[in-house]
Chains A and B, each alone.
Chain A
Amino acid sequence: DTAVSQTPKYLVTQMGNDKSIKCEQNLGHDTMYWYKQDSKKFLKIMFSYNNKELIINETVPNRFSPKSPDKAHLNLHINSLELGDSAVYFCASKLAGGNADTQYFGPGTRLTVL
């Protein structure tokens, strides 16, 4: 069984479009994250939700809007896509609490904006 899953795996779209990426975890975790990996493999956090509440919002353009309908899901909606949004987006999850610091990552969604 897949612990952290993302859909779609690949997404190719035109500039200016709006798209969503979905993430689901079946680990019973409380906290979920979105990371962006650029073409040079550099990984940077974008958002984090704990029990459906936003707790981390790094300096990400407001074209990016995360939505957490329940604690097992964290979706990422992107408006007015730009060329610079092309990247691999990773979802991750972890248990809340001081001793549970290991994050489990999904397989990634490769977004290509043309």
Chain B
Amino acid sequence: GDSVTQMEGPVTLSEEAFLTINCTYTATGYPSLFWYVQYPGEGLQLLLKATKADDKGSNKGFEATYRKETTSFHLEKGSVQVSDSAVYFCALIRGSNYKLTFGKGTLLTVNP
């Protein structure tokens, strides 16, 4: 079945550091790929997405590129802020039922 593997963390960075959270997936066909973010005490919000190979999703300084050859969708940000502290989930959708399959989440803490 479909699966998503992401680095488990926790990840602790200083403000303005570079962030990478790795995500790889297993799925047949051509899934759509997503990063969702969950701030403390809140629900999930879509951060960015990509629906086909070589697409780059971007939002709020975060970027991720859909790499079909490596089945990856790594999340990057050049300079993190304290307000980026949250749990980040990589996810995919494949097929007509649009069931989201999530990775286990990565807790990011950014210190001032």
Binding site for B on A (CB under 8 A): 4, 31, 33, 35, 40-45, 48, 55-56, 90, 92, 94, 98, 101-108
Contact = CB atoms under 8 A, between A and B. Distances in A.
A50 to B, nearest CB: 8
Given A45-B99, A48-B99, A107 B105 contact: no
Interface of B: 32, 34, 36, 38, 42-46, 49, 51, 87, 89, 93, 96-102, 104-105, 107
Q: State the majority secondary structure of interface residues on B.
A: strand
A14 to B, nearest CB: 25
Residue among A90, A104, A105 with the most chain B CB within 10 A? Answer: A105
A94 B104 contact: no
A45 B104 contact: no
A107 B43 contact: yes
B80 to A, nearest CB: 20
